[in-house]
A and B are shown apart, each in its own frame.
Chain A
Amino acid sequence: MPVMGINLESWLAAAPAWIQSLPDGLQELLFQLYQTFIYQDRWTWFTDGLKVTFITTICALLLGVVLGLIVAIIRTAHDSQRTGKRNPVLGVVNFLCTVYLTVIRGTPMMVQLLVMGFVIMQPREQHEALICGIITLGINSGAYVAEIARSGLMSISAGQMEAGRSLGLNYWQTMRYIIIPQAVKNILPALGNEMITLLKDTSLVSVIALRDVTQQAKNIVANTFNATVPYISLALIYLVLVLILTKLLGIFERRLRASDRR
C-alpha cells in the first residue's frame, strides 16, 4: 500500500459536489480530518492506541498501588517504633524504601523510561515494550502512591491502634482490620488524582516505541505531513478521558461520603 496515497487535489476531484462549493479553508480542514481519521481506516490507529493507553494505565496503577502500599506500611511501621527498641531488619528495608522514593521522585519520568527502555530491559517486540512501559510507570507511580498512602495511615488516630492492641490483636492484625480499611477510604480522592496523572503520563511511553495513542498520532503525522488535526485531536482525546474520569471519581467520592452521614 502506497504510503503517500492521497493529496488535496485528488481527494477534491473525487469528493461530492457540495464540498467542492465550500470555501478553501473549510475544504482544507475537511481534507485533513479525512486523512487523519477516515483514509486507510486511520481511526483504528487511535482506537488501537487507546487500548494500549488503557492497559498501561490500569496495570501501572495496580502495580503502583501495591508497591506504594507496601512501602508506606514499611515506612510507617519503621517510624512508629519506640526509640531504643528498633528492629534492624526493618531499618535496612526502610532505608531501601527511602532510596527508592528519592531516586524515583528525583528523576524525570521520561528519563526513567529511557533508562528502562534502552539500558535495563531493551524490549524488542510490542508486547515487551508494553510490559516495560507498565513496569516503569508502575514503579514511578508507586513512589507517589507510597507518600499518599503514608499520609493516609498517619491520618488515623493513635487511639485506633491502641484500641486494637488492647483487645489482643497484634500489630499486623490491627493494621489489616482497623487501620488500613480506614486509611484507604481517606486516600481514595488522592489516589484518583494519581490515576489521572498516570493516564496523562502514559503519553511518554512513545519514547520506548510503545504504540499508545500518542505514538499513533505521531505515526499519522508522519504519514500526512500535517500536525494540526492529529495533535489537536489527540489533545481532545486526553481531555475527554480526564473529564470522564474526574466525573466518575466525583460520583464515587459522593458515594463514599454518603456512608459518613449521620
Chain B
Amino acid sequence: MIDVKNLCKSFGDHEVLKGVNEHIEKGEKVVIIGPSGSGKSTFLRCLNLLEEPTSGDIVFEGQNITSKQTDINLVRRRMGMVFQQFNLFPHLTVRENIKLAPVKLKVMTEEEADKRALELLERVGLPDKADSYPIQLSGGQQQRIAIARALAMNPDVLLFDEPTSALDPEMVGEVLEIMKELADDGMTMVVVTHEMGFAREVGTRVLFMDGGNIVEQNEPHEFFAHPKNPRLQDFLSKVL
C-alpha cells in the first residue's frame, strides 16, 4: 500500500532521514519506536508530505506522491492523520470539526456529513459532545474527536504522530482503546508512539528507528523478547 524508497530528509545541514526503505501492506498496524531525534516523526510526516522529502520516492497505492504531477491534496484525503497536540479547530464545535473537510471538499452533503459525524462520535464514545467546543473537553476526549475527524474522510490509512504523548496518564487508556478498536476493524495504521504495551498488543510489526534509519524490525513478540541490535537492546532496557 505504501512503498518508501531511499527516503532522505534534511533540515538545512541536519540530515534527519538517511535513505529509509520500507513497505507497508494494507491492513498492517506498523508501530514505530525509537529515541527522540531518531527521525520517526519526520518519517511519518513525510508519508503524507507534511514534510517534503529531500530525495527518494513514496508510492501510495501505485501513485508516486513525491512526483510534481501528483495533487497531494487528493492523496491526503485518503490518509488521515492524528497529531500529538490534537490540533482541533478551536473556533468550531466538535460536529463542525468533523464535518469541515467532507463538506468543504464536496465529498458529502451537509446532511450526509452530519450523519457521518454523529456515527463517528458514537464510535469514539462521545455522542453527547457534538455541540461542545474543543476547549470544553479533556485532552483524552479531544484526541478521540481528532481521531473521529481523521476518519471523516474515510481514509485508507491512518497516521498517528505520538497520539498519547500530550495526555495526562489517566487519559492515555481511553485513546489507546479507540485505536485498538480501529485496528480490530482492519484499518491500516502507522503509529509513532512511546507506548510499548500498545506496540506489543496491537502492532503487527514494530520498527525501531535510530539515527535516521530503521535499524531493526520484527513482529512484536520476537521484537521485544529477542532484540538483536545493541542500540535497541539499550533502548528497551531503558523504557521497559
In A121-172, which residues have CB < 8 Å from any B CB?
Answer: 157, 159-160, 162-170
If A177-B104, A262-B135 touch, whether A168 touches B50 (CB-CB below 8 Å) is no
Evaluate contact between A262 and B91: CB separation under 8 angstroms.
no
Evaluate contact between B136 and A166: CB separation under 8 angstroms.
no
Contacts of A178 in B (CB 8 A): 89, 100
**Least CB distance, A257 to chain B, in whole angstroms:** 12
Contacts of B153 in A (CB 8 A): 167-168
Evaluate contact between A159 and B87: CB separation under 8 angstroms.
yes
**Least CB distance, A182 to chain B, in whole angstroms:** 5
Interface membership of A260, Cβ < 8 A: yes
If A160-B89, A182-B91 touch, whether A166 touches B48 (CB-CB below 8 Å) is yes
In B67-81, which residues have CB < 8 Å from any A CB?
Answer: 73-74, 76-77, 79-81
- A164–B81 CA distance with the chains assembled, in angstroms: 10
Interface membership of B236, Cβ < 8 A: no
Evaluate contact between B149 and A159: CB separation under 8 angstroms.
no
In A164-207, which residues have CB < 8 Å from any B CB?
Answer: 164-170, 173, 177-178, 181-182, 185
Evaluate contact between A168 and B135: CB separation under 8 angstroms.
no
Evaluate contact between B76 and A165: CB separation under 8 angstroms.
yes
Evaluate contact between B87 and A160: CB separation under 8 angstroms.
yes
Contacts of B81 in A (CB 8 A): 162-163, 166
Evaluate contact between B135 and A166: CB separation under 8 angstroms.
no
Evaluate contact between B74 and A166: CB separation under 8 angstroms.
no
Most buried by B among A164, A167, A182, A260: A167
The residue on A at minimum CB distance from B71 is: A170
Evaluate contact between A163 and B89: CB separation under 8 angstroms.
yes
- A262–B90 CA distance with the chains assembled, in angstroms: 12
Contacts of A165 in B (CB 8 A): 50, 73, 76
In A81-132, which residues have CB < 8 Å from any B CB?
Answer: 82, 85
Evaluate contact between A169 and B104: CB separation under 8 angstroms.
yes
**Least CB distance, B165 to chain A, in whole angstroms:** 14
Contacts of A169 in B (CB 8 A): 73, 100-101, 104-105
Interface membership of B204, Cβ < 8 A: no
Evaluate contact between B105 and A159: CB separation under 8 angstroms.
no
Interface membership of B83, Cβ < 8 A: yes
Evaluate contact between A168 and B91: CB separation under 8 angstroms.
no
If A162-B83, A262-B136 touch, whether A168 touches B76 (CB-CB below 8 Å) is yes
- A185–B74 CA distance with the chains assembled, in angstroms: 30
Contacts of B80 in A (CB 8 A): 166-167
In B124-172, which residues have CB < 8 Å from any A CB?
Answer: 133, 135-136, 149-150, 152-153
Evaluate contact between A173 and B104: CB separation under 8 angstroms.
yes
Evaluate contact between B77 and A181: CB separation under 8 angstroms.
no
Evaluate contact between A159 and B100: CB separation under 8 angstroms.
no
- A205–B89 CA distance with the chains assembled, in angstroms: 43
Interface membership of B15, Cβ < 8 A: no
If A160-B87, A185-B91 touch, whether A167 touches B50 (CB-CB below 8 Å) is no
Most buried by B among A82, A163, A182: A163
**Least CB distance, A242 to chain B, in whole angstroms:** 30
Evaluate contact between B50 and A182: CB separation under 8 angstroms.
no
The residue on A at minimum CB distance from B49 is: A165
Interface membership of B85, Cβ < 8 A: yes
Interface membership of B222, Cβ < 8 A: no
If A160-B89, A182-B91, A185-B91 touch, whether A170 touches B48 (CB-CB below 8 Å) is no
**Least CB distance, B77 to chain A, in whole angstroms:** 4
Give me the interface of B with A, judged by CB distance under 8 Å.
48, 50, 52, 73-74, 76-77, 79-81, 83, 85, 87-91, 100-101, 104-105, 133, 135-136, 149-150, 152-153
What are 8 A-B pairs with beta-carbon distances under 8 A? A159-B83, A159-B85, A163-B83, A167-B149, A167-B150, A168-B76, A169-B101, A181-B91
Known pairs A166-B81, A167-B149, A168-B73. 8 more at Cβ < 8 A?
Answer: A159-B87, A160-B87, A166-B79, A166-B80, A167-B77, A167-B150, A169-B100, A173-B105
